Structure 1
Amino acid sequence: MNKPILVAVSSQKGGVGKSTLTVLLASYLHFVKGYEVAVVDCDSPQHSLYLEREREIKDCEESEFLRKQVFDVFQKTQKRAYPILMSSLTDALATAQEYLDGNSIPDFLFFDLPGTINNFDVVDILRNVHYVLCPMTADRYALESGISFCNYINNALITSGNSAIRQLSVVWNMVDPRERTELYRIYDEFMAELGINVMETRLPNSVRFRREGSRELKRAIFRSTLIPPDKTQLRGSGVEELVDEFLKITAM
């Protein structure tokens, strides 16, 4: 493949925020940091990101408030929405390559993957990316599943040299503020012993991550593929800090 930075947001556990993390990273990098971004949605059969984009476009057609939000962002940044390409798992790498062959090369190309590792096509995509972000929650089943996933990536793909992966990083997501910080320190130390890198930034469990645009409601929008997260809701979300940490990891 050509030379964008390829990123997979992946885990074998559903419901840990893979698609939400992909949208927030892509939108913040594109609209706020000024990078060129593309996304391949190969999380079949739901294709939640591609359908989210389609829904947002339809909502904009029916809501003057949303149209103005998108127009204001374009006026300020001179950046149109980044492409979201729908693909099957089998064709995901070919879909990405076809896009790169026919367009200017983005800085980052994200793959939104289904919650499984027991699939040859998923493993093949992971083998070809440069960075893997694994969102994880402090739930026993999510932890067991996430650690198993990370061990496989480290042992079968990274350590063996059978991939292009430069780093795998766990992202603590949906962190309940009532949970003891000491608990996460113990988890971090345990994963460090296994050779699993954990990012310092933790994303809280907050309703703002589900605050999308609405054709009926005139409200601030946090999660969108057409505009960046609303500034008034960024504080305490961890998104700015996560992006800055991600850029340090990728040396961008």
Structure 2
Amino acid sequence: MVILIGNQKGGAGKSTLTLLFANYLATIRNRRVTVLDMDYQQSIASKSEKAKILENEPDYEVIPSDLKHFPMLLNLLNKNKGEIVLIDLPGKMDDDGLIPVFLAGDMVLCPFNYDEFSVDSTLLFAMVTRKINNHAPFIFIPNRIKNTVKYETRLEVEKVLQRFGVITPGIADRVDFQRISTVHTPLILFPVILPILDLVYEAYLLKEEQP
């Protein structure tokens, strides 16, 4: 199964969500996971290398990759039965090399914020992705929700996004998210993230794997 994690807007939290989901799948669900870090900053690959330097071997492999190598990597990874491939997508959508990546997706996770700039980028990402791949479930995950902020346009935003997919409960903004690595998710975050990750896993991954 190939899961795409993306949003055209930088800072939406896609790399953080990729790490959270990879750690969750590998340690809680005991699944075999490979992360393809296609983001230009390759922050996940950097965290993985740092963990190895500190002699902490991650529970899954992180492969830094560019778009041109994707077809070959996917062919190799598809030979591993039961493998879940998480792809941290680039933050830009102006490369035709993204087309085979989008086509390969069995599910799309799109973290977003409720601010105006994030919503515009989220809609653009959803429209382009849906035009290329209209079969994969599209799941929007409200991220870095500030409890002290009143999002006046929230209902309007959700009404538009629901044309493209479903929206999960939001993930509250916490400083502890900065401590996530390829070998560790702070325990204090589990009450915040488990309801969302359990929902995605049980409603979509298990469903997709049923014969």
Name which of 61, 65, 74 aligns with 1:83: 61
Q: Measure, in 2, the Cα distance between the counterparts of 1:170 and 1:145.
A: 13
Q: Measure, in 2, the Cα distance between the counterparts of 1:232 and 1:12.
A: 29
SS at match of 2:123: helix
Q: What pairs up with 1:168-207 in 2 under 5 angstroms?
A: 168-180=138-150, 183-192=153-162, 195-207=163-175
Do residues 136 (structure 1) and 112 (structure 2) align?
A: yes
CA distances 1:126-149 after superposition (whole Å, capped 9, x unpaired): 111111111111111111111122
Residues 116 and 122, structure 1, Cα contact 8 Å, conserved in 2: no
Q: Measure, in 1, the Cα distance between the counterparts of 2:99 and 2:111.
A: 17
TM superposition shift of 1:197: 1.8
TM superposition shift of 1:181: 6.4
TM superposition shift of 1:152: 2.1
TM superposition shift of 1:30: 0.8
Q: Measure, in 2, the Cα distance between the counterparts of 1:57 and 1:34.
A: 21
Q: Measure, in 2, the Cα distance between the counterparts of 1:145 and 1:181.
A: 17
- For structure 2, list consecutive stretches of 5 or more residues without a partner in the other structure: none
Q: Which has the larger radius of gyration?
A: 1
Do residues 167 (structure 1) and 123 (structure 2) align?
A: no
Q: 2:199 matched to which residue of 1? A: 245
TM superposition shift of 1:158: 3.6
**Aligned amino acid, residue 37 of structure 1:** V
TM superposition shift of 1:201: 2.1
Q: 2:26 matched to which residue of 1? A: 30
What's the TM-score once normalised by structure 1's chain length?
Answer: 0.75
**Aligned amino acid, residue 43 of structure 2:** S
TM superposition shift of 1:180: 3.0
Q: Measure, in 2, the Cα distance between the counterparts of 1:114 and 1:187.
A: 24
SS at match of 1:134: strand
SS at match of 1:175: coil
SS at match of 2:170: strand
Q: 1:151 matched to which residue of 2? A: 127
Percent identity over paired residues: 22
**Aligned amino acid, residue 19 of structure 2:** V
What's the TM-score once normalised by structure 2's chain length?
Answer: 0.88
Change (3 A) 1:82 1:106: farther
Residues 12 and 112, structure 2, Cα contact 8 Å, conserved in 1: yes
TM superposition shift of 1:202: 0.8
Q: Measure, in 2, the Cα distance between the counterparts of 1:200 and 1:11.
A: 16
Residue-pair matches, total: 206
